[in-house]
Amino acid sequence: MDVLSIILLLIALGAGVYVGKTVLGSRPSGVGVQTQTVVEEAKQRADEIIREAKEKAEQILKEAKETAQRVLREAEQKAEKLIREAKEEVEKIKEEVERRKKELKEREESLQAKERHLDRRWEALDRREEELLHRERELKELERSLDSFRAQLREREEELQREKKEVEELKQKELEELQRIARLTIEEARQEILKRVEEEAKRDAVKLMKVIEEDARRKAEFEAKKIIATATQRLSPQIAINYTTTTVELPSNEFKGRIIGREGRNIRTFEILTGVDLIIDDTPDVVTISSFDPLRREMAKEALQRLIADGRIHPARIEEVVDEVKREFDEKIRKIGEETVYELDLHDINPGLYYYIGKLYFRTSYSQNVLLHSKEVAYLAGLMAEELGLDAKLARRAGLLHDIGKAISHELGGSHTDIGVELAKKYGEPDAVINAIKAHHDEEPVRYPEVALVCAADALSAARPGARRETLEAYIKRLEKLEEIVKSFKGVANAYAVQAGREVRVIVNPEEISDEEAYLLSKEIAKKIEEELDFPGQIKVVVIRETRHVEYAR
């Protein structure tokens, strides 16, 4: 029984008691016989009232339950309808969002493709503009030369006219003089005069021919020098492509856009940190790394391959990977030197030299890899020593270390033989090795027969490169000299020669150099390069001043 039924029952009981009291109170007190009857009637009346109240309560409860169930069903139906409508609305919203996302992605890809196309067009236009300016300058120079030549011809023509007039006058005078003195006939005098005039004209013609020939020779030499300089400038990138570039394959062409980054941030950060020039052109799935320093190229290649494998390409990640590769490369270089020493069976070489021997792998001399050249010299000297009954191991040792100074000569400056002697003495190499380092460039006499074999082996190994490779060596030295000149200025943190030496990028310390000072620094660097360095064409000086502010949220 619920609470409502109990309440109705209590009401009915109260009503019955009330009715009973009323009936009893209305009867006389003296009537004792009828009292029992009245009480029984009251009880019956109360029971009827209670029964009716129960029935009414049950009916009310039943109706309330039916109403509640009907309301609940209607509420459930409405709720299901609302949930179904909400789900349908959510699905529609999701489909609209997906459609919008797809449209935005397609629009972004289209914009990126158009941006890359515009960049390529701008680069092509810049190159075309440079070529047109160069041709315009050449045409102006030729025009000035032609104007000068025309002026000279006019002067010479006027001079010839004057001389002709003078000759006519002299001819007339001589004719009269001959007729007066020699009593010659007019015909005889004419022949004599013509003979003299012809001789004088021949002499004048020879003089004029010499002047014209000399002028033509001078102009030809000037044009030849200009053509040679232009050819040298155009040849440099071809040599650089053959000897100073490395290619990296990409999983797909979309990685080019990720490597470039938004507004070129990624490629700019990569080039600044590695000191190389990253060339991204229309070649499918290939990126080219350009630098005259093989060590920089190899480190940049390793860093780029790791970034591609990782997939996260942004300035912070690039800086992290480049630092990691630089730390690992020291150990890699030492490992190369150690493997070379064991390959030549020179186990007693001081381990401190392993690092410098390994660095020779990333140096070139007349286009030869210095480590491969040194190994070749070591093998040749060792074989010749064995044939002659000399110390083959000492010959291999001296051959391997004869160019050890080239490992760091570009960093310290100075002769690689002097630096090599210092390294050999520092790590306790025998006197024969020191003698080989100095004697293979005739800086001191040969004191050991094994050293003579090293010199002969060095000449044999170095005899193969030709004149073009000597040109490459001079080209590499010019790039190194270019970086040394730039690094001599105060406030310069680093400098990289790129674009086959036609551009030098200067990284300055923002704490020491302001924006205005950076502008003046570019002028001073350009002036000093013009004074101290011979180069074809022109060199673009780019001064980069970058400020970073780092804070950590904890």
pLDDT tens, residue by residue, 453-510:
888 888 777 654 333 344 556 677 788 888 888 888 888 888 888 776 778 888 888 8
Task: For residue 532, give the nearest of 495, 478, 489, 491 by alpha carbon.
Answer: 478
Evaluate whether 381 touches 398 at the Cβ level (below 8 Å).
yes
Evaluate whether 259 touches 287 at the Cβ level (below 8 Å).
yes
Per the prediction, the chain carries an average pLDDT of: 78
Check residue 550 and give its pLDDT.
65
Name the band, by pLDDT with cuts 50, 70 and 90, for residue 206.
Answer: low
Tell me the C-alpha distance between 27 and 412, whole Å. 139
DSSP output for 332-353: HHHHHHHHHHHHTT-TTS-GGG
Bridge partners, 505 (sequence order): 496, 542
Task: For residue 280, give the nearest of 253, 298, 315, 319 by alpha carbon.
Answer: 253
Task: For residue 410, give the nearest of 443, 455, 365 by alpha carbon.
Answer: 365
Check residue 322 and give its pLDDT.
87
Query: In this predicted model, which residue has the larger pLDDT, 242 or 375?
Result: 375
Measure the CA dihedral 30/35/38/42, to 10°. Answer: 110
- Those residues whose C-beta lies under 8 Å from the C-beta of residue 189, and which sit 6 or more positions away, are 174, 175, 178, 179, 182
Task: For residue 246, give the nearest of 313, 331, 303 by alpha carbon.
Answer: 303
* pTM flag (> 0.95): no
What's the CA angle centered on 43, arms 37 and 44, to 5 degrees? 90
Tell me the C-alpha distance between 185 and 178, whole Å. 9
Question: pLDDT of 411-425, one tens digit each?
Answer: 666 678 888 888 888
Name the band, by pLDDT with cuts 50, 70 and 90, for residue 235.
Answer: very low
For the cut 50, the answer to whether the pLDDT of residue 228 exceeds it is: no
Check residue 230 and give its pLDDT.
41
For the cut 80, the answer to whether the pLDDT of residue 112 exceeds it is: yes
Measure the CA dihedral 200/205/210/212, to 10°. Answer: 150
Question: pLDDT of 389-419, one tens digit each?
Answer: 888 888 999 888 888 888 876 666 667 888 8
Tell me the C-alpha distance between 366 and 475, whole Å. 10
Check residue 189 and give its pLDDT.
64
Check residue 426 and give its pLDDT.
87
Pairing state of beta strands 245-249 and 277-279? unpaired
Stretch 220-225: mean pLDDT: 61
Check residue 203 and give its pLDDT.
66
Check residue 181 and give its pLDDT.
59
The pair phi, psi for residue 383, each rounded to 5°, is: -65, -45
Check residue 236 and give its pLDDT.
40
Bridge partners, 544 (sequence order): 507
